[in-house]
Homo-oligomer: A and B are copies of this chain.
């Protein structure tokens, strides 16, 4: 891997507190690999051989069943994903494909497991990471079961804005097609919902989201700390889209 990536990986909550030597050894056993866009890197059901770290690009995690697919998360640099499968040494529950050309660091799962057994600080980090991931998925489930799709879209927009210090405008971090699937709806329904939301305080123009009336939007979305955070959550939780890019 490129030497300039090392500090970025080291600064991840998962790795920042572990012993320096253990970190170096773990990274030393890892592989830096580049994948073209649109490649299925992981097929759900495959044995979990490596913890993945996105160094560059973007990766979609999704589930398949029968002929259907649903987007579970999109991971952007620098974050890890599929930690739980590696720890349990069980098959991946989700598939992963690159959305663009991506550089991925592959950390062998067995090394991961031996490392947290001998490095308490790392074990604590793993515990915190997993607990955060778990809570992220639970919050996501609550949103899916308690809100209808219009409410999910509205609260997604507010949540993203909040991550940018309540920015009134920002760019969507992913295509609408993916956003729709992530939110558990069809692209057609999302499209119509966006139009309907124009009278509720938010306007979407291409990839740009413009919050025109935050109060009105919040009235509809009824943002809830126990669903929308903030909660210092893991990004690679397998249930969130990446934070938005700030307006240029």
- Contact in complex: B44, A226 (CB < 8 Å): yes
Could you list 13 further interchain pairs (A-B, Cβ under 8 angstroms) beyond the known A65-B224, A134-B238?
Answer: A63-B141, A65-B142, A65-B227, A69-B146, A72-B141, A85-B135, A93-B142, A116-B127, A120-B120, A120-B123, A127-B130, A138-B239, A144-B184
Q: Which residues on the B side are within 8 Å of A65 (C-beta)?
A: 142, 146-147, 222, 224, 227
Tell me, in angstroms, the Cα distance from A15 to B141 when the chains sit together. 28
Interface size on A, residues (CB 8 A): 52
Task: Answer whether residue A53 sits at the interface, using C-beta atoms and an 8 A cutoff.
Answer: no
**9 interchain pairs, CB-CB under 8 A:** A45-B225, A70-B145, A85-B135, A90-B231, A91-B225, A133-B134, A134-B238, A144-B144, A144-B145
Q: How many copies does the complex hold?
A: 2
Binding site for B on A (CB under 8 A): 44-45, 63-66, 68-70, 72, 83-85, 87-88, 90-91, 93-94, 116-117, 120, 123-124, 126-128, 130-135, 137-142, 144-147, 184, 222, 224-227, 231, 238-239
